[in-house]
């Protein structure tokens, strides 16, 4: 655990010191043309590979088993969230997430059952991108990454840091298990999106970009969102709905 905390803090200091200068003059979406091309690539790869597997997975694996896996994965994620809460100067959420891990890892059978939520111990959902925002790091441009999907510079650096500091990596010192669980989590996430696909209307790129940016804004601003991202004028929206 000491090496875990030391590595996390070192990575936090390095990223936190370098990122502000890199993003000082960034705009929301200066790479739109490239982003659109990458989205087309991702959609093609998804259609050929990931979506068919997700459909089969959704049909074959019983919901209780899937939920148990998600709960166990989220239980480990609560460790990372507790550390980020501390880095944000928020001790109460850090204590709550730590309590969740202790309760779910014991009474919840290694986290497969979310006992903590039933007990009223709510999860504080956060990540290192949120931590960077908390201390004034600019968001930076919106980017669409091959296979990984939408990010901003800040959330992308945050995800990279969180991936190196994942409790899953320290608990299971085995690359096969580490990447296997990550792959299964991606598959679960994609299966959950199957029904949501029908909600995407109008310009697919703009819809995905706006949804992502609004979600990040809501996290950083404790649930408050102001829609300033959309390129559509009011009359263009009226034509689509």
**Residue 101: pLDDT band with limits 50, 70, 90:** very high
The torsion angles phi and psi of 137, rounded to 5 degrees, stand at -70, 130
**pLDDT attached to residue 49:** 94
DSSP 175-232: HHHHHHHHHHHHHHHHHHTTTGGGG--S-HHHHHHHHHHHHHHHHHTTT---------
Q: Locate 166 and state its tokens.
A: 């994942």
Is the model's pLDDT at 234 over the cut of 70?
no
pLDDT category of residue 25 using cuts at 50, 70 and 90: very low
pLDDT tens digits, 167-205: 876 776 677 777 888 889 999 999 999 888 888 888 999
Query: What's the confidence (pLDDT) of residue 180?
Result: 85
More confident residue, 34 or 235: 34
Which pLDDT band holds residue 230 (cuts at 50, 70, 90)? low
Query: Mean pLDDT across the chain, nearest whole number?
Result: 84
CB-facing half-sphere around the CA of 189: CA atoms within 13 A? 11
Q: Is 126 exposed, middle or buried (CB count within 10 Å of its CB: 0-12, 13-18, 19+)?
A: buried
Quick check: 25 and 139 in contact, CB under 8 A?
no
> Could you give the percent of the chain with pLDDT greater than 90?
64
The mean pLDDT of 35-56, rounded to a whole number, is: 96
* 118: pLDDT strictly greater than 80: yes
User: pTM surpassing 0.85?
Assistant: no
Instruction: Give the pLDDT confidence score for residue 150 in this predicted structure.
Output: 96
Question: In the prediction, which pLDDT does 224 show?
Answer: 67
Q: Would the pLDDT of 241 be above 60? A: no
Lowest mean pLDDT among 21-25, 62-66, 191-195: 21-25
pLDDT at 229 over 60: no
CA distances from residue 58 to 28, 53, 77, 175, 200 in whole angstroms, order as listed: 35, 8, 23, 26, 20
């Amino acid at each position: 655990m000491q090496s875990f905390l030391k590595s996390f803090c070192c990575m936090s200091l390095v990223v936190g010191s370098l990122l502000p200068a890199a993003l000082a003059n960034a705009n929301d979406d200066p790479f739109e043309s490239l982003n659109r091309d990458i989205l087309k690539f991702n959609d093609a790869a998804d259609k050929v590979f990931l979506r068919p597997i997700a459909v089969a997975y959704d049909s074959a694996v019983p919901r209780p088993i899937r939920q148990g896996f998600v709960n166990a994965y989220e239980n480990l994620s609560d460790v990372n969230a507790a550390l980020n809460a501390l880095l944000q100067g928020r001790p109460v959420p850090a204590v709550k997430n730590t309590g969740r891990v202790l309760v779910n890892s014991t009474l919840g059978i290694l986290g497969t059952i979310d006992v903590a939520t039933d007990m009223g111990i709510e999860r504080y959902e956060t990540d290192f991108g949120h931590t960077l925002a908390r201390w004034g790091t600019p968001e930076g441009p919106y980017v669409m990454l091959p296979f990984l999907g939408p990010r901003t510079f800040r959330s992308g650096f945050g995800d990279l840091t969180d991936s190196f500091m994942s409790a899953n990596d320290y608990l299971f010192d085995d690359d096969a298990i580490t990447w296997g669980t990550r792959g299964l989590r991606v598959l679960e996430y994609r299966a959950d999106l199957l029904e949501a696909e029908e909600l995407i209307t109008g310009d697919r790129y703009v819809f995905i970009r706006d949804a992502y940016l609004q979600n990040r804004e809501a996290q950083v601003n404790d649930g408050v969102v102001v829609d300033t991202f959309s390129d559509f004028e009011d009359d263009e929206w009226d034509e689509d709905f």
